[in-house]
Chains A and B, each alone.
Chain A
Amino acid sequence: MNLASISYPQTGLKAAIAVFLGTNCEKETRMALEMAGFNVEYIFHTETNLEKFDLVVLPGGFSFGDYIKAGRLAKLSPVIESLREYVKLNKGFVLGICNGFQILCETRLLPGVLIENTKTKFISEDCALFFNNKEITIPIAHKEGCFWADEDTIKQIEKNDMVILRYKNNPNGSINNIAGLYDSKHHVIGMMPHPERAVLSQCGLADGKKIFEFLKTELLNFKKSCPTKNLSKKRVE
């Protein structure tokens, strides 16, 4: 059996995975999205047309070698310029995983910054998290994953219910155990943990599916409520 030959339930949702030079999680991210029913396309960092996508994913990796600071160079690429417009015009959702989260913070699409872990070393482990009040376990793998923001910003984040994921045993020193964030509209999502690495039951952990399923549901709801994106035309029955 080849997993590529399995067909997954189709939702008609279109996702783009932005590939930067140095990105390294695009394949498993594609697999996870396809399993959740998305139609997935890779787009290169030079792409500027995001019109047709319901979701743009910035996957993990080391975009442009993470030189200077993680995500600092990627924010200057053409695809990110278009992404700002995409978000501003409510075209769809954005998901940044690990390096993607770092890029979203660098571009100010999400508040705060991600600085070096308090232990100053790379941390790779299966990590217990709280997601929608339930405990899940998903791998983390990063060196600059400690979330930091000033007091006022943290207050805003908590007040507007912008935390999507929290660490159970804070491995990297993040303020308020923050592992993942929404923007104020809940359309832009960033997270340090890698849900795409936990979708195959053959590999043991499959909690990552819950995040992609959640994303799918939210996105379908968003499209129902959004007249410019009429889902019924696209839905594959």
Chain B
Amino acid sequence: MIKFETIKKLEKLGLSQYEYEEIVKKLNRKPNELELYLFSAMWSEHCGYKHSKKYLDMLPRTKSLFSSENAGGIKIGNHVIFFKTESHNHPSAVEPYQGAATGIGGILRDILAMNARPIALLNSLKFGPIERMKLPDDINNAVSIINNDTHCDMESFSRNKYLLNGVAEGISDYGNSTGVPTIGGEVSFNECYNLSPLVNVMAAGICHKNNVKTAAAKENLYVTLIGSATGRDGLFGAAFASKELEGDSSDRLSVQIGDAYTKKKLIEATLEILQSKNVFCSQDLGAAGLLSSTSEMAAKGDVSMDLYLDKVPLREENMQPYEVMLSESQERMVFGANKAGVDEIVKICKKYELNAAIIGKTGKGNTYNLYHNDILLASVPVKALCKPVLYDLNPKKPEYIDVLKKKKLFLDTKINTPQNIKYLIFKITAAPAFASKKYIYSQYDSTVCARTLKNPHFIGVSPLYIREEDTTIGFSMDSNEDLCLLNPYTGAFNIIFESYRNAVSSGFEPLGITNCLNFANPEKPDVAYQFTETIKGIKDALCTLNLPVVSGNVSFYNEGVKKTDIHTDDVKIKINPTPVIGMLSILKTKNPIYTRSLSDETIFVIGKQINKNSCTGASLYQRLFFNFLGGKPDIIDFELEMKLKSAIFDLNIKGEISGAIDVSKGGIIGALLIMLFNSFNFNDNKNSEQLGFSCCLPCDIDILFGEITGRYLISAKNADKVEQYLIGSQIPYEKLGKTNNTGNLNLGFVKINLAELREIYENSLERKA
């Protein structure tokens, strides 16, 4: 029988009674208070993945290296490219600047722990809307179903702007100072993120294949802690990320504070330390700080560890042992080294003006002992600590899925007037979800390291030149929260292909992915369903494409409480299931496909052709213009996707295409606009102000803006050759039209000044944020 006080304490620590009993079983006794804290942190979702581990293990990992380490990688020549994503959603919701900054800090340390030099950062940012889309009555009246269930008001718009600017500034100040370029990513806006914004950061690093270091310790090593002194910041951060936010300002105490200057010194010091043959293992201090880093080191190496808490450099007085163990103070790393290694570490740290302290020793056995002034405070089997109770989820298909599937967007045919379409083209161009993210990306240093090939807001993958191997690799981050709400399985499946097309459109062959899975509370059956279906979708897509997952991160409990008036219950707002896919690809053709100057070229739509019966569920325009989400998502045609890839690669090798883009957000109009705007950015195109395009498209919203899979736009000087090739390869295509120097976008039924439209596209976000 568990005492009432214990039950109260367990509740506070986020442990269930069942878990408590398991702990007692493993220890063969009741844990003392400190031990209970240790288990609570290690068995939290954030550290232990207790609700997700069983499912994550289903994902394919062949061809990936070190996928059970801090970060996994893929071999390219004699080097390993490590990459991983991490979420910093909860901290960013309460303190956007520090939350985003420490998110970068954390993921960089994961890469660093492998002895890889960080070479790139990307991020996927999701916020609530920053404006309400207002349409004239005659367009609104044309819609028979309008979902009016919105949670937006002026207050939330300004809060979302505050979050957006805070996060961007945090990434800018911190990321730039570390000397790692931020080369791309995505930013989107959706009502489901009003109370729970998402900040997912991806980092990549490079290491020679013979120099990789792992976390596994061996016997008789000195555990050496370097970097910042330990304080109370970020205490219970792991537990904090494993619950729903209460919107209480006390949450702010759990946010860690970053220090970019110390991080930069830590990067250089760590890479210098790990060159030593006397240093055997390394770990970064992230979630659950000293506890998780050192216990995993011991567990992976199958050794025991004694830690002396009085040896840890502290920056605050009277810190309790559990505080020292669980503090998430930033900018710290821990190494296992022999005596000579320790001397080297101390010397290097002196050069970089960092603390270094021997805080423990490894030995034979399997216990994890904590001492303070020679008094034993805790002693637990290290494997038990690092192996939390794993749960099966109880997925149940939520009713909304079938309801949404049956919903249809009935648009009055009267809506399809040239005037309305013109209006909507201006609207989508200015919408933050579609408009250029230049405002945000220009705040990130994208060119440091001299590896970057293009600005982050240009189209296609974000390429990096790897001079160590004389090759070019590409990264991208993709997600689609509407599609994943509509159908989590198809949504996840399609995102992988979306990433795939993104790489292909630039001439790159995908090699593997990392994922960041953002969900609400998985203990609820509907969320469990979304999660398990997403995993299946990712798994099936990867198996189809024969690609591995190399690393990943799960962020649960992304829901917030909407405070209503005192007479009604508070409403919980969950985020849509949001798997974010980070993809690594490699340049397969000689040159990447840049969409540069497009003078006197023909643009083709190749692949699936959209028609009245196409499934355009979750198209951006439907939510944006009509606040509608429903219908079916389009299904991938695998063979066609493969054919399209070889066609684009072939044509690029032959030098027949000058530009390519996958058709995604905003449908044909969206892709066409982005492609044309992109060519304005290159000053070898002196006459860009006169660039125009003329085509003949049907005056139909769904055809123009509807989103389906398996389509690209390609542009070519010699249209006949491309046409012959496409016919020969049996690829469906349509000749869209030709660029000219009229300065207008002419769709046949309407003419729009392109330069004017581009000005809106480029500057809209800056004006609205």
Contacts and interface: CB of A to CB of B under 8 A. Distances in A.
Interface of A: 1-4, 21-22, 24-25, 27-28, 31-32, 44, 60-62, 64-67, 121-126, 128, 137, 139, 141, 143, 194, 196-200, 202-204
Contacts of B449: 27-28
B353 A21 contact: yes
Interface in B296-344: none
B467 interface: yes
Contacts of B717: none
A194 B181 CA distance: 14
Given A200-B467, A203-B453, A124 B261 contact: no
Nearest to B353: A21
A194 B260 contact: no
Interface in B672-719: 683
Given A65-B177, A126-B455, A128-B683, A25 B448 contact: yes
Contacts of A1: 470
Interface string B255-269: 000011100110000
Contacts, number: 109
B450 A203 contact: yes
Nearest to A204: B453
B450 A196 contact: yes
A62 B450 contact: no
A139 B446 CA distance: 9
Given A123-B442, A141-B447, A203-B453, A22 B264 contact: yes
Nearest to B179: A24
Question: Which DSSP category, helix, strand, loop or mixed, fits chain A's interface?
Answer: mixed
Q: Max chain B CB contacts within 10 Å: which of A24, A27, A31, A128? A: A24
A21 B265 contact: yes
Contacts of A141: 176, 445-448
Nearest to B594: A204
Contacts of B683: 128, 137
Interface string B453-492: 1110000000001011110100000000000000000000
Interface in B415-461: 441-455
A199 B594 CA distance: 19
Contacts of B351: 44
Q: Max chain A CB contacts within 10 Å: which of B353, B448, B454, B594? A: B448
A65 B455 contact: no
B265 A22 contact: yes
B465 A203 contact: yes
Nearest to A32: B450
A24 B175 CA distance: 12
Closest 4 CB pairs of A and B: A24-B179, A65-B261, A28-B450, A139-B447
Contact of A197 (B177, B448, B455): B448
A60 B450 CA distance: 12
Contacts of B444: 122, 124
Given A24-B178, A60-B448, A62-B177, A2 B468 contact: yes
Contacts of A2: 467-470
B591 to A, nearest CB: 10
Contact of B465 (A64, A66, A200): A200
A197 B448 CA distance: 7
Given A21-B353, A24-B448, A62 B261 contact: yes
A66 B259 CA distance: 12
B186 to A, nearest CB: 18
B587 to A, nearest CB: 10
**Chain B interface size range:** 35 or more
Nearest to A26: B179
A30 to B, nearest CB: 10
15 contacts: A1-B470, A2-B470, A3-B470, A4-B468, A21-B264, A65-B177, A65-B261, A67-B261, A122-B176, A125-B442, A141-B445, A141-B446, A197-B447, A200-B450, A204-B594
Interface in B640-695: 683
Contacts of A204: 453-454, 594
A205 to B, nearest CB: 9
B445 A124 contact: yes
Nearest to B454: A204
A127 to B, nearest CB: 10
B506 interface: no
Nearest to B447: A139
A196 B177 CA distance: 18
Given A124-B444, A137-B683, A141-B445, A197 B450 contact: yes
A200 B454 CA distance: 13
Contact of A125 (B179, B450, B455): B455
B172 interface: yes
Contacts of B259: 65
Nearest to B591: A202
A124 B472 contact: no
Nearest to B463: A203
A24 B173 CA distance: 14
Contacts of A28: 448-450
Contacts of B178: 24
A22 B176 CA distance: 11
A210 B678 CA distance: 27
B352 interface: yes
A4 B467 CA distance: 8
B443 to A, nearest CB: 5
B439 to A, nearest CB: 9
Contacts of B260: 62, 65
B145 to A, nearest CB: 42
Q: Max chain A CB contacts within 10 Å: which of B179, B441, B450? A: B450
A136 to B, nearest CB: 11
A94 B472 CA distance: 34
Contacts of B467: 2-4, 31, 200, 202
B261 A22 contact: yes
Contacts of A3: 467-468, 470
Given A4-B467, A62-B177, A196-B450, 18 more contacts: A1-B470, A4-B468, A21-B264, A21-B265, A24-B178, A24-B264, A61-B179, A62-B264, A64-B261, A65-B259, A65-B260, A121-B443, A122-B172, A124-B447, A126-B455, A197-B452, A198-B450, A202-B470
A203 B172 contact: no
Contacts of B469: 2
Interface string B172-192: 110011110000000000000
A62 B179 CA distance: 9
A125 B260 CA distance: 22
A203 B470 contact: no
Contact of B446 (A65, A66, A124, A143): A124
A44 B449 CA distance: 19
B465 to A, nearest CB: 5
Nearest to A62: B177
B232 to A, nearest CB: 23
Contacts of A137: 683
A64 B179 CA distance: 13
A34 to B, nearest CB: 12
B261 A21 contact: yes
Nearest to B456: A124
Contact of B179 (A4, A25, A66, A199): A25
Contacts of B353: 21
Nearest to A63: B261
B174 to A, nearest CB: 11
Nearest to B464: A203
A195 to B, nearest CB: 10
Nearest to A128: B683
Contacts of A24: 177-179, 264, 448
A165 B353 CA distance: 36
A124 B265 contact: no
Contacts of B455: 125-126
Q: Max chain A CB contacts within 10 Å: which of B264, B265, B444? A: B264
A22 B443 contact: no
A128 B469 CA distance: 31
Contacts of B468: 2-4
Contacts of A128: 683
Contacts of A200: 450, 465, 467
